[in-house]
Amino acid sequence: MSMPDAMPLPGVGEELKQAKEIEDAEKYSFMATVTKAPKKQIQFADDMQEFTKFPTKTGRRSLSRSISQSSTDSYSSAASYTDSSDDEVSPREKQQTNSKGSSNFCVKNIKQAEFGRREIEIAEQDMSALISLRKRAQGEKPLAGAKIVGCTHITAQTAVLIETLCALGAQCRWSACNIYSTQNEVAAALAEAGVAVFAWKGESEDDFWWCIDRCVNMDGWQANMILDDGGDLTHWVYKKYPNVFKKIRGIVEESVTGVHRLYQLSKAGKLCVPAMNVNDSVTKQKFDNLYCCRESILDGLKRTTDVMFGGKQVVVCGYGEVGKGCCAALKALGAIVYITEIDPICALQACMDGFRVVKLNEVIRQVDVVITCTGNKNVVTREHLDRMKNSCIVCNMGHSNTEIDVGRLLNLSCSTVPTFVLSITATTQALALIELYNAPEGRYKQDVYLLPKKMDEYVASLHLPSFDAHLTELTDDQAKYLGLNKNGPFKPNYYRY
C-alpha cells in the first residue's frame, strides 16, 4: 500500500506501511504446507503470483474468529466480506444516519448495526477484564475530558475497547489501521452507538487516508490523546497537523512497527509528546507469544493438514518464546522435537527442557515437519527444501515472512486468536491511555516508555477472575519485610518471569 498520489509525503510513510502490513499478516498468521508434487518438481514460481497476494487479503481475518463468518470457513472466507448483495456505492458517497439522527460517521451500512452489536456482546463475554474496568473506574471517570483519536483494526474486540474508553469518560473518533480488516457490521454498531467511526472493509488507499483525516480534522474538536496501531495516524498528524501535538498528552502504540518508528523519532529528537510502548509489556508478550503459540501451532497444523502429531519428527528453528510454546505443545502430543538455535543460552534451555539441539542440516532429511520461529531470514533455504522428505510440512510461526526462502508463498493464515488474548492487549491499551492522561506533569517526558510494571500487574489482575484465581495479599508486616508496597509492583524491572 503506497501513499496516495494526492498526498505526497516523504518516503517514511511507505516503508512504514509495508512493514506494518507484513506485521499484520504474520503476527497472527503462521502456517502452510509444502507438498512435493508426485513428479518431485516444485512449481513455486507459477503459484507464487497467486499466493503472494493472499496474506494481504485474508491475513487480517485471522485476528479473531467472528460470527460474521460461518463457523466452517474460518480462514479463507474472503467471500464473506465481499458482501456481493451490497451495492457498490462507496460509503463516502452515501448519506447515512443512525437511529438518533447523527451522521457523524462513515461506514459501509448502518443497517448492519444490530448484527454487529451481537458480535460485540459475544466478544464481551471473553473480555471481562474491560467490563470489570468499566465498573471499577466508572465512578471516577478517569478519562473524563479525554478526546481520543484512534486508528486500529476495527473488530468486535476493538469495539469493546472503544466503548470502554467512552464509558470511562472519553470522546472517541476512530479509523481503521488496515484497509481489509474492518468488520463492517461492528463499525455500524459503533456508529449506531454514537462513536464517530470512519472505516469499512475494502477501503482504497485514498479512502484510508481520508478516514484518518476525518478523525483528526474536525472543527470544534481537538484530540488530546492518540491510540495507534502501526503509526499511520501518528505519521499523518506529524505531517499534516503538527500543531495538534501541542494539546496531545500522549501516544499509545501497540505494533512493533509503530514502536520502532517512535524510538526512531525519539532518537532523532523529534518526538514531541510522551509515548507508551504497550507492545513490550510482560503480560501482552507472554500471551502473544508463549501461550498463544502453544495452542495455535496444534490448531493451525490440524486445520490445514490433519497431520497426526504422535511420533512425528519435528524440527523447530528458534527457541524463543514462540519456539518454547510450540515445542511444549508438540512434545505433549507425542512428537519428537529437535531445536536449532543461534543463542547458546536459549540452546541450553532447550537441552534442559529435553530437546536435542541440532543444525538444520543434520535432521532435514528425516523430519516430518519444519517450523520456523526465528524472526531471521533464509532459515529454511531452497537447498533444505530439496532435501526434505516428500510430504514434509513446512510452517512459519515467526514474525518475518523471509524465514523460508521461497518468497512470501508460505505465509498463509490458518488459526485464530482467542478473544481472551485480544482482551489482554485491549486492556493494556486502555490502561496506558489512563496512565498517560492522568500522569502528573513531568512524570513522562518526550520519550518512549514501557508500561509501568504496576500497570502490567494490574492488567494481569483484571484477567484473573476469568480463572477464578484468588490472589494472596501481603500483610503489612510481610510487605515491610520484603520492602514492597502492598499493592505492587512486586518485581524489579529486570525480572524475567
Q: Which residues are annotated as a binding site for substrate?
A: 155, 229, 254, 284, 288
d(CA 238, CA 496): 36
Cell numbers for 262:
517512535
Nearer Cβ to a copy of itself (336/439)? 336
User: Which strands form 196-198's sheet, in the order they lie side by side?
Assistant: 196-198, 171-176, 147-152, 225-228, 250-253, 275-277, 448-450
Residue with cell 507472554: 286
Q: Is 447 in the site for a copy of itself (CB under 8 A)?
A: no
| Positions 36 through 75 that interact with a copy of itself (CB under 8 A) | 38, 64-65, 70-75
Reduced to 3 states (helix: H, G, I; strand: E, B; else coil), residue 100 is coil
| Positions 84 through 113 that interact with a copy of itself (CB under 8 A) | none
Residue with cell 499534516: 240
Distance of CA 156 to the CA centre of its chain: 14
| Positions 378 through 417 that interact with a copy of itself (CB under 8 A) | 378, 390-391, 402, 415-416
Of 46, 219, 306, 441, which lies in the binding site for a copy of itself, with binding defined by CB under 8 A?
A: 306
d(CA 26, CA 373): 11
Q: Closest distance between a copy of itself and the C-beta of residue 201, in Å? A: 19
Q: Closest distance between a copy of itself and the C-beta of residue 279, in Å? A: 13
Q: CB under 8 A: which stretch of 148-156, 166-174, 265-273, 292-300 binds a copy of itself?
A: 292-300
Cell numbers for 26:
504474520
Distance of CA 262 to the CA centre of its chain: 17
* Contact criterion met (CB below 8 Å) for 104 and 196: yes
| Positions 412 through 441 that interact with a copy of itself (CB under 8 A) | 415-416, 418-421
Using omega within 30 degrees of 0 as the cis cutoff, is the peptide bond preceding 440 cis?
no
Distance of CA 4 to the CA centre of its chain: 25
Q: Is 291 in the site for a copy of itself (CB under 8 A)?
A: yes
Residues 6+ positions from 388 with CB-CB distance below 8 Å: 34, 36, 364, 365, 367, 370, 394
Residue numbers in the known binding site for NAD(+) are: 320-325, 341, 411
Of 50, 345, 476, 483, which lies in the binding site for a copy of itself, with binding defined by CB under 8 A?
A: 345
Of 340, 396, 425, 429, which lies in the binding site for a copy of itself, with binding defined by CB under 8 A?
A: 340
d(CA 223, CA 146): 8
d(CA 35, CA 395): 12
Nearer Cβ to a copy of itself (94/303)? 303
Of 4, 169, 375, 407, which lies in the binding site for a copy of itself, with binding defined by CB under 8 A?
A: 375
Q: Is 482 in the site for a copy of itself (CB under 8 A)?
A: yes
Greatest alpha-carbon pair distance for the chain in Å reads 74
Nearer Cβ to a copy of itself (145/311)? 311
d(CA 167, CA 187): 18
Q: Closest distance between a copy of itself and the C-beta of residue 107, in Å? A: 24
d(CA 200, CA 93): 13
Nearer Cβ to a copy of itself (234/415)? 415
Q: CB under 8 A: which stretch of 4-12, 82-90, 211-219, 482-490 binds a copy of itself?
A: 482-490
Q: Is 465 in the site for a copy of itself (CB under 8 A)?
A: no
Q: Closest distance between a copy of itself and the C-beta of residue 426, in Å? A: 15
| Positions 169 through 198 that interact with a copy of itself (CB under 8 A) | none
- Which of 216, 184, 220, 215 minimizes the C-alpha distance to 198? 215
Of 53, 356, 443, 445, which lies in the binding site for a copy of itself, with binding defined by CB under 8 A?
A: 356
Nearer Cβ to a copy of itself (20/324)? 324
Q: Closest distance between a copy of itself and the C-beta of residue 41, in Å? A: 15
Of 144, 382, 481, 485, which lies in the binding site for a copy of itself, with binding defined by CB under 8 A?
A: 481
Reduced to 3 states (helix: H, G, I; strand: E, B; else coil), residue 218 is strand
Of 194, 336, 405, 439, which lies in the binding site for a copy of itself, with binding defined by CB under 8 A?
A: 336
Q: Closest distance between a copy of itself and the C-beta of residue 476, in Å? A: 11
| Positions 311 through 330 that interact with a copy of itself (CB under 8 A) | 311, 313, 321, 328-329
User: DSSP for 434-496?
Assistant: HHHHH--TTSS-SSEEEPPHHHHHHHHHHHGGGGT--PPPPPHHHHHHHT--TTS--S-TT--
Q: Is 302 in the site for a copy of itself (CB under 8 A)?
A: yes
Nearer Cβ to a copy of itself (83/299)? 299
Nearer Cβ to a copy of itself (104/266)? 266
* Contact criterion met (CB below 8 Å) for 415 and 300: yes
| Positions 114 through 173 that interact with a copy of itself (CB under 8 A) | 121, 125
